[in-house]
Structure 1
Amino acid sequence: MKITGYRSLTTIHNWGRPIGDVNGLVMSGITDVPILLLETDEGVTGVGLGAHADIARVFPAVEGEDPRAVSALYDRMLAHVFKSGHAGATYGAIGAVDMALWDLKAKLADEPLWRTLGARDRFVPGYASGLCMGLDDDALYALYGEWADRGYSSAKLKGGRDIDRDIRRMVGVREVLKRNSPRPAIMFDVNESWSRKQAVRHIAEIEQHIDLTWIEEPVRRWDAEGHALISRASKCAVATGENLTGLDQYLALFTAGAVDVVQAGMVWGITHFNRVATAAHAHNLPVSPVGYNANPIAHAAAAVPNLLTVEVQDWKTPFGLTVDQQIVDGGIVLGDAPGLGIAVDEDLIVNKRQSGQWNVTGGPHVRPARAGLRLVPES
């Protein structure tokens, strides 16, 4: 079997509400979902999800290769872009190809990927994460009430501009989730919007009101010294890592004792997650993949020994995709469909083309000019 080509298309996910974080919002609630389809000479197609603008640059590393050699092909892709580096958009393309390769490998074995990767149980524990910065309080509590209906007792909220508002909302969501647990787990994500001492001050105030499970990305992703300072000053865990593109970028965090919950972005692929999980395990740390459409990395998460929980951002699926999984019982129940269990209706997506707005000017992927430099709360 050989890899012969690829097709690329884009669908949308309609969240049905504004989504975003401290950096910005997508008010329409409609976002793009890029899909990579990896072709073989035997007619089996692999599916990878995530932005892959650099696919033309990465694809020569796998063209003509046997797709079953997934780990070797992952390293071959990294070697192929050696001189100019693999960060950013390039790493996204590598992740999408890697995901499609693992999908192919499991399809050829005629089994779901979680079995191919050695998982014993199809259930993956999760926490609810509504990307909820743009919701008012009533809408926020209604949203997490729906998560509670699905058995969830853990939730992550977005914030970072107004600590009084943030505390009120965390306490409110905790009360909503008490229908499933007397002590729900509450996490808080400020998406790199604080300075070191702001983080220490704000976390101390939060911890007067709530038993915070973790603070996520309190300072810039590369600030190992800052994360270590915050971890030592706080009772809650420090979680970070979703934006790191490559195992090498975690070394400074491990060396400084700067991370308590090791995260990995789902869009960076399965091999990346597996290597990060192994490195975290060697440091006696838990791992938690950060959410994405269709939860593809849940298959790998089911097989690692140090999984803490998986971020689940929505129970709906992108337009034109059918996903063999259930969002119930406080987690993800993976199905038996071969590979990732993602079926793509190309005709439907192409004939009813819709556009998302994830990368709008004021959206969450654009860092505001005053991020980390605010002295007083901002609404």
Structure 2
Amino acid sequence: MKITGYTSLTTVHDWGRPVGDVNGIVDAGVTEVPILLLHTDGGLTGVGLGAHTDIARVFPAIEGEDPRAVTALYDRMLARVFKTGHAGATFGTIGAVDIALWDLKAKMADEPLWRTLGACDRFVPGYASGLDIALTDDELVTLYERYADHGFASAKLKGGRDPETDIARLRAVGDVLRRNTPRPALMLDANESWNRKQAVRYVSEVEAQVPLTWIEEPVRRWDAEGNAVVGRAVRASVATGENLVGLEQYGPLLDAHAVDVVQAGMIWGITHFLRVSAIAHARDLPVSPVSYNGNPVAHAAAAVPNHLTTEVQDLAHPVGLTVDQTFSDGGIVLGDAPGLGITVDVELIGTLDTSDGWRIPAGPHVRPARAGLRLTPEG
């Protein structure tokens, strides 16, 4: 079987609430979801998810090849764009292709991807993460009650503007999750919005009243010394890595003992996650994938020995995607459908009017001018 072509689609995900973080908010709560379909001469189609703006440059590296050679093709894609391969847009494209290749490999074996990757258990432990900074206190509680209904006992809140506000919200979510455990795991994500000393002061104030399991991205992603400073000064673990592209970017953090929970973004692909997991495992560190629509990397999380927990950002899926997984007992239960278990309704998606969501000028993927430079809390 050979790869013959591709189709690029865009659907939307309706969150039913505003979503975002300290850097910005999508008020409409509707975001675009890019889909990449890889076609073969054997009639099978691989489904990849995530932005793939560089697909025209990357596709020649895999055209005409057998999709079962996934890891070799991953390295071939990197080699083809080696001067820009470890940059965001190009690396994201490679990730979307990689997901589609793994989907094809498992479909050719007529088994779910978690089986192909060697997992023996279809259950993937997870934590609730509602991208919730824009919600009122009542809306926040209502959202996490839905997560609690599915057995979740841990949660990550977006914060970083005002410690008193974050303390109150963490307590409220903790109260909700106590129906499932006497000691919920609570995490706070600052999305790189502080400098080193700000991070230490802020986290110390929160920890004085709420036990934090981890603080996520307290300082810039590449600041190995800064993350190490924060990690030594607070009780919480430091989690970071979702925005790192290429294994070489993890090296300084690992060498400086600056990360306690090694993260990898799902949008960078399954091969990337497997390799990040391996280098983390060599340091006796846990790994945790950051969520994306359809949770494709959950299949790989089920197969690595040092998986800690997978982020679950929503309990629904994008328009036109049917995903063979359920949420139960505080995690993701993967199904038996071949490959990723994702079915794409191409006709339905073709009728959609997709508009900018994540790409709006106000963020949250645009860093504010005063990030890391605020002297007083923001409401």
Q: Which residue of 1 aligns with 2:45?
A: 45
TM-score by length of 1: 0.99
Greater shift in the superposed pair: 81-90 or 184-193: 81-90
Q: Which residue of 1 aligns with 2:281?
A: 281
What are the Cα deviations for residues 18-68 of structure 1, in whole angstroms up to 9, with x where unaligned? 000000000000000000000111111000000000111111110111110
| Cα deviation, residue 158, structure 1 | 0.2
- Aligned-partner Cα distance in 2 for 1:80–1:113: 27
- Aligned-partner Cα distance in 1 for 2:114–2:222: 32
Q: Which residue of 1 aligns with 2:76?
A: 76
Equivalent pair of 2:79/2:85 in contact (CA under 8 Å): no
- Aligned-partner Cα distance in 1 for 2:372–2:326: 38
Q: Which amino acid aligns with 2:156?
A: K
Q: Which residue of 2 aligns with 1:228?
A: 228
Q: Which amino acid aligns with 1:116?
A: T
SS at match of 1:212: coil
| Cα deviation, residue 83, structure 1 | 2.6
User: After the TM superposition, which residues 1-379 of structure 1 pair with which residues of structure 2 at under 5 Å, given as runs?
Assistant: 1-379=1-379
- Aligned-partner Cα distance in 1 for 2:8–2:40: 15
- Aligned-partner Cα distance in 1 for 2:298–2:61: 26
SS at match of 2:28: coil
What are the Cα deviations for residues 220-270 of structure 1, in whole angstroms up to 9, with x where unaligned? 000000001111111110000000011111000000000000000000000
| Cα deviation, residue 343, structure 1 | 0.1
- Aligned-partner Cα distance in 2 for 1:86–1:257: 23
- Aligned-partner Cα distance in 1 for 2:201–2:42: 59
Equivalent pair of 1:245/1:268 in contact (CA under 8 Å): yes
| Cα deviation, residue 292, structure 1 | 0.6
| Cα deviation, residue 354, structure 1 | 3.2
Equivalent pair of 1:200/1:230 in contact (CA under 8 Å): yes
Equivalent pair of 1:127/1:312 in contact (CA under 8 Å): yes
- Aligned-partner Cα distance in 2 for 1:84–1:344: 31
Q: Which amino acid aligns with 1:131?
A: L
| Cα deviation, residue 177, structure 1 | 0.6
Q: Which amino acid aligns with 2:45?
A: T
Equivalent pair of 1:46/1:100 in contact (CA under 8 Å): yes
| Cα deviation, residue 324, structure 1 | 0.1
| Cα deviation, residue 172, structure 1 | 1.0
Equivalent pair of 2:84/2:90 in contact (CA under 8 Å): no
What are the Cα deviations for residues 188-226 of structure 1, in whole angstroms up to 9, with x where unaligned? 000000010011111111111111000000000000000
- Aligned-partner Cα distance in 1 for 2:84–2:273: 23
Aligned-residue CA RMSD (Å): 0.7
| Cα deviation, residue 361, structure 1 | 1.1
Equivalent pair of 1:12/1:356 in contact (CA under 8 Å): no
Equivalent pair of 1:158/1:190 in contact (CA under 8 Å): yes
Identical pairs, percent = 72
Q: Which amino acid aligns with 2:117?
A: L
| Cα deviation, residue 341, structure 1 | 0.3
| Cα deviation, residue 356, structure 1 | 4.2
What are the Cα deviations for residues 292-318 of structure 1, in whole angstroms up to 9, with x where unaligned? 101000000000000000000001010
Residue segments in structure 1 that go unaligned for 5+ positions in a row: none
SS at match of 1:378: coil
Equivalent pair of 1:54/1:93 in contact (CA under 8 Å): yes
| Cα deviation, residue 358, structure 1 | 1.3
Equivalent pair of 1:49/1:99 in contact (CA under 8 Å): yes
Q: Which amino acid aligns with 2:133?
A: M
Greater shift in the superposed pair: 349-358 or 7-16: 349-358
| Cα deviation, residue 85, structure 1 | 3.7
TM-score by length of 2: 0.99
Residue segments in structure 2 that go unaligned for 5+ positions in a row: none
- Aligned-partner Cα distance in 2 for 1:177–1:102: 35
SS at match of 1:67: coil
